[in-house]
Amino acid sequence: MLGGARVEAVVVETEAYRGPGDPASHAATRSGPTARNAAMFGPPGHAYVYLIYGMHWCLNVVTGPEGEASAVLVRGAEPLSGRDVMAERRQRRRPLLAGPGRLCQGLGVDGGLYGHALDRPPLLLARGWEVHEELVGVSGRIGVVAAAEEPLRFYVRGSPGVTPGTPRD
């Protein structure tokens, strides 16, 4: 019942992960595809979901052509509808969708969506709207050790949907 509730949100923070050449990517390996990162090597538009720290799910969108293993981590969003459902899933904690783990919890995303095609229910990804360039913040990726300085994180400046602690600049 709660799992079938329809909720909507607008993505306001992402991080790019490139193929095997990116040392911070889960696809950066000497032995090729594994059971965990297999979805990254698949066709674009599908979900790559993984469990971090044994407790939080993270949602990625596979972006590159098949075999390239590039993906985008969805790090934050602003609720558009169904805030009550999100709040229930989040056990009344805030923020609701700011941060990759919180976003998955609020949207009900888990390992069951591994490899899911994002052009159909139960999880749909659609084009949003233009964001003026001056409102787009760029920074290094959060929580990664390798290539931490690479400007591969993008977010909407001042949005409540971005990871807490992000500078307003």
Residues that bind DNA (CB under 7 A): 15, 17, 24-27, 29-31, 34-37, 40, 48, 51-56, 58, 60, 71, 73, 90, 93, 99-103, 141-145, 163
Integer angstrom CA distances of residue 151 from 22, 89, 90, 162: 13, 32, 30, 16
Taking the least distance from each CB to DNA, the nearer of 121 and 142 is 142
Task: Kindly list the distances between the CA atom of residue 20 and the CA atoms of 17, 24, 34, in Å, as whole numbers in the listed order.
Answer: 9, 9, 12
For the bound state, the minimum distance from the C-beta of residue 95 to DNA, rounded and expressed in Å, comes to 7
| Burial group, residue 139, by CB count within 10 angstroms (0-12, 13-18, 19+) | middle
Nearest to 105 by CA among 55, 168, 164, 156: 55
Q: How far is the CB of 48 from DNA (least distance, A)?
A: 7
CB of 137 to DNA, least distance (A): 16
How far are the Cα atoms of 1, 95, 123 from residue 4, in angstroms, in the given order? Answer: 5, 22, 11
> How is residue 41 written in tokens?
């090597």
CB of 98 to DNA, least distance (A): 7
Q: CB-based burial of residue 165 (10 Å sphere; 0-12 exposed, 13-18 middle, 19+ buried)?
A: exposed
Q: Smaller CB distance to DNA: residue 56 or 83?
A: 56
CB closer to DNA, 56 vs 132: 56
